[in-house]
Each structure stands twice: as C-alpha cells, then as structure tokens.
Amino acid sequence: MRRLTTPMKAEGLTTLKIRYDYKSDVFHMEAMKQWDQDLDFSRYNKDFYVESILTDDVVYYNTKQVRELYRKYDLEDYLDEILELIREGKHFGIELYYNDKWDITYMSHQHSRKLGINNKLHATLAGGIRRHDKSEEEKDVIIDGLNLGRGMSFKNVAGRLNMGGCKQTVTMDELDLDNMEIMGFLGFCIDNCRTMTGPDMNFPTEMADVENENFSMQYTNGPKYSVLGETGKPTAYGVYVTLKQAVNFYEGTESLAGKTATLVGLGAVGWYMGGHLLDEVKKLYIADLSDARCKEFVEKHPGKDIEIIPLDNAYFQPCDILVPCAIGGIFSDETIPKLNCKYIWGSANNQLKASSQEEEERLAKKLQERGIVFQTEWYHNTAGVICGYHEYVYGKNATYENLIRTIDETMPKATYDNLKQAKELGITPCENAYRIAGEVIYGDKTLEDLK
C-alpha cells in the first residue's frame, strides 16, 4: 500500500508538515527528524516538552527536497494526489507524526485556523480523534480526515465557537491505556498541533482521562473528569430545539403535538432524542441495528405510543419528521424519491450521499423540490462540540446549566435565521448554511456579525 510514511521510515524521519495557501495556490512542505526513535514518550511533560531539543541529529527537508524524497521512493504521484485533495477542500494542510518504534501514524487534518488565531487559548483548532486500522488504505484515511476536518470548520461557525476546524486520525493497533509510551506520544502530538480533541471512533473515552492525568490537557470528555458528561445528551437537545424552530418557521408554532416521527438509531444521541420527541409527538416509530435496544427503549418509556419497525425500510416510513441518528450517506438520487416525510432533522453526520459541497447542494435541492425541509446536519448537531468547548475552556467550573443556556441562546436563532435567509434568497437551507459559514471562514465576516 502507498503511504506517506514509507520514505519517512526509510530515512529515519518523524515529522511531515504540508501547508497550503488557497489564496495564492502555494504549497509549503517540510519533513524532519524531530526526535530520536528511542525517545521514551512516557516522560513527556516530565523530562521534556514539545519545545525541547529531542535529538542532536536534526535532519530537515524543505519543499523541494520533500518532493525529491517522494520521487526517490516512486511516490511523487501519490504525494500529488494528497496535495490535490488538500487543494480541492481549501485545507490549511496536514501535520503527520510517525512513531517507528510502535508503528503509529498520527495525522492532524487541518482545514482552517482562522477562528482560533486570537482566542487566547493554547488550542486554536478543535476536532475529534479517531483510530484507523493498519489494513486500511492511507488515502481513504486522509480523505476521511480531511472531510471531517472541513466539516468541523463549518460546525464551529454554526456553534459560534472561536476555534478552527480539524480532525485527528491515528493509524495503529488497538489502544492500550496502560502503555504510557504510546499515551505520551499521543499527548505530544496533540500539543504540537495546537488542537483540542475528544475520543471518537475506535478510541475509548477513558483515553481522555489518562491524558489529562499524565500528559496533555487538550483532551476532553473523559468519564472520570468530565463535569458535563457524555456529549450525546446535549447533542440531542440541540437537534430537538432547532427542530422546533424549523417547525415554528414553516408552521408558526414550536409545538410538535399531533405529529408522527421516525427515529433511526438509538445510540448515544438517538436515545436522548427519542426521549425529547416523546414529550410531544403523538406516535414514534423507532429502528436500530439492535432489536434488544429497541425493546429496552420501549420498556423505559411506558404508556407512550412507540412502534418498532424494520431498519431496512425505516427511512421510508410515512411520518411527519424523519430523524436520522445513525449512519450517514443515506439520501441519494435513488432514496430521495422514496421518502414519505415533511422534515428531515437528525444528528447523523454526512446524511447526503455526496463527495463535495456542490453535490450536497444538488441533493438538498432535490429534497426541497419534494417539499421536504432539510437543513444540513452540521448546522444543528453542534451542541456536542459546544459541550467539549465548555469543558476545555471552563474545566471543573463548567456546568450543565451554562451549557444548556449557551445552546438555547445560539442554536435556535441560528437555525431560524438560516431558514429565513434561505427563503429570502430563494435557495435551500443547506446552500445558505454553507454561504454563512463560508463568509466567515473565507471572507471578512466574524462570529459577531452572525449575532
């Protein structure tokens, strides 16, 4: 398999940084040996720090030399493929740290630093950290990381957070929380990247607690030290209150009384979302990969009109509100004609089956032509990010009451304004959400201008 780390491993290099200026279309690359491979990372932030001299044999490659390096290993075309991905998404770039001792590839996929530059915090970027298996194609990992990093930039605008957007991917074996060398290395990397993060796919939430106790305070939402608890609960609340604003905009009332809803996915967000919906809707259809999970949900809500339906056709169940809280890539040219709902409003990421913003906007228009209200999910599933931000900024002084107050003060208005502006401009809410975020990320507007 083709990997950026192949020449790095062969030449004893540890670090690769790719930077891109979309305004001038100029790339800057540097590769270096930043530390000796026998460095004991369990001593990070004890005997040495990010800024310490970690080798007396520093090796440094500039942009031209990096290209020559990849040409030497017959990987120049692969490098160009990665650069083109960065160019297409207007990404700030990638930071890559390779630990040869443990064969770990850490990548920070950085989309935009703009909102975080003057936030007076160590971290200027925010985005989760997830683990990928070594058997996965590296390019697929990079595409995933870049797309999620770009999404975080937009999501942070939607949440009115002064943080740039990024995503961390780590290609490694399953994490051993007791291996302090590996935990120290992951703390070292996150501090290098000026990023705050929370454990995501294939990483245990306890990871954040081990980091906080031993290496880095840039990790949030661990079960031991998180005063705000799991992020699924506030995420569900944010989706719920913005849904009510969507109904208010189109129907003149925030009430969901008398409506039917279909909830797909009873995970960390969907479970709580179901509870909110049951406070108002007359009937709730539920579907999940686990039949036991569905039955448990029914048992936990006695006296409510809940019907378990097959997952295969759940998205096409006739209802007023379709609430996707599971996998993404659901709505496509094939599935949109089969939908039987008035609103699509859930937490699932990347609900439109698209590989670009243009494709998302095309599919969103097809939904609108069918009379279905759809606002791209990153504009209303942002409360979990707000939760992580509160924990990072306020620490043990963070409170759930202040978190909910922030959600109530920002998210409903953001949705109502987006729907209103979209109607005035004659475009879809999806397109308008991208327009709003783009004017902040790429233009001259600030978060203050959105209030």
| SS3 per-residue string spanning the chain | CCCCHHHHHHHCCCEEEEEEECCCCEEEEEEEECECCCCCHHHECCCECCCCCECCCCEEECHHHHHHHHHHCCCHHHHHHHHHHHHHCCCCEEEEEEECCCCEEEEEEEEECHHHCCCCCCCCEECCEEEECCCCCHHHHHHHHHHHHHHHHHHHHHCCCCCEEEEEEEECCCCCCCCHHHHHHHHHHHHHCCEEECECCCCCCHHHHHHHHHCCCCECCCCCCCCCCCCHHHHHHHHHHHHHHHHHHHHCCCCCCCCEEEEECCCCCHHHHHHHHHCCCCEEEEECCCHHHHHHHHHHCCCCCEEECCHHHHHHCCCCEEEECCCCCCECCCCHHHCCCCEECCCCCCCECCCCHHHHHHHHHHHHHCCCEECCHHHCCCHHHHHHHHHHHHHHHCCHHHHHHHHHHHHHHHHHHHHHHHHHHCCCHHHHHHHHHHHHHCCCCCHHHHC
Q: Given the structure tokens 């243009």, which residue do they identify?
A: 358
pLDDT confidence of residue 334: 96
Residue 221's pLDDT is: 85
Cα angle 441, 447, 450 (rounded to 5 degrees) comes to: 110
Output the pLDDT for position 350. 85
Residue 206 contacts residue 212 (beta carbons within 8 Å): no
Residue with tokens 């160019």: 87
* Dist CA 249 CA 380 (whole Å): 15
Torsion of CA 270, 271, 277, 282, to 10 degrees: 110
Sign of CA dihedral 108, 229, 294, 374: negative
Q: Which one, of 264, 262, 417, lies nearest residue 341 by Cα?
A: 262
Provide the 10 A C-beta neighbour count for residue 10: 11
* pLDDT at res. 210: 96
Q: Is 282 annotated as catalytic?
A: no
Can you tell me which residue has the tokens 């905009």?
249
Amino acid occupying residue 39: L
pLDDT tens sequence across 77-87: 999 999 999 99
Q: Which residues contact residue 219 at a Cβ distance below 8 angstroms, ignoring those fewer than 6 apart?
A: 129, 187, 190, 196, 197, 198, 199, 207, 208, 211, 212
**33, 114, 155, 167: the active-site residue:** 167
Residue 230: which residues within 8 A CB-CB, separation 6 or more? 205, 221, 223, 268
Q: Residue holding tokens 């491993």?
A: 9
Measured in degrees and rounded to the nearest 5, phi and psi for residue 273 equal -60, -40
Instruction: Determine how many CB atoms are found less than 10 A away from the CB of residue 387.
Output: 31
pLDDT of 225:
81
283: which strand partners? Answer: 260
Best CA proximity match to 204, nearest among 228, 178, 227? 178
Domains parsed from the chain with CATH numbers: 5-214 (3.40.50.10860), 232-381+414-441 (3.40.50.720)
The distance between the two most distant Cα atoms of the chain, rounded to a whole number of Å, is 71
CB burial of 306-325 (b: ≥16 within 10 Å; e: otherwise) equals bebeebeebbebebbbbbbb
Q: Would you give the end-to-end CA distance of the chain in angstroms?
A: 48
Encoded tokens for 43: 């001593």
As a whole number of angstroms, the distance between CA 355 and CA 147 comes to 9
Torsion of CA 28, 97, 138, 80, to 10 degrees: 10
Question: What's the rounded Cα separation, in Å, for the pair 39 and 43?
Answer: 9
Residue numbers in the chain where pLDDT is lower than 70: none
Query: How many other C-beta atoms lie within 10 A of the C-beta of residue 266?
Result: 22
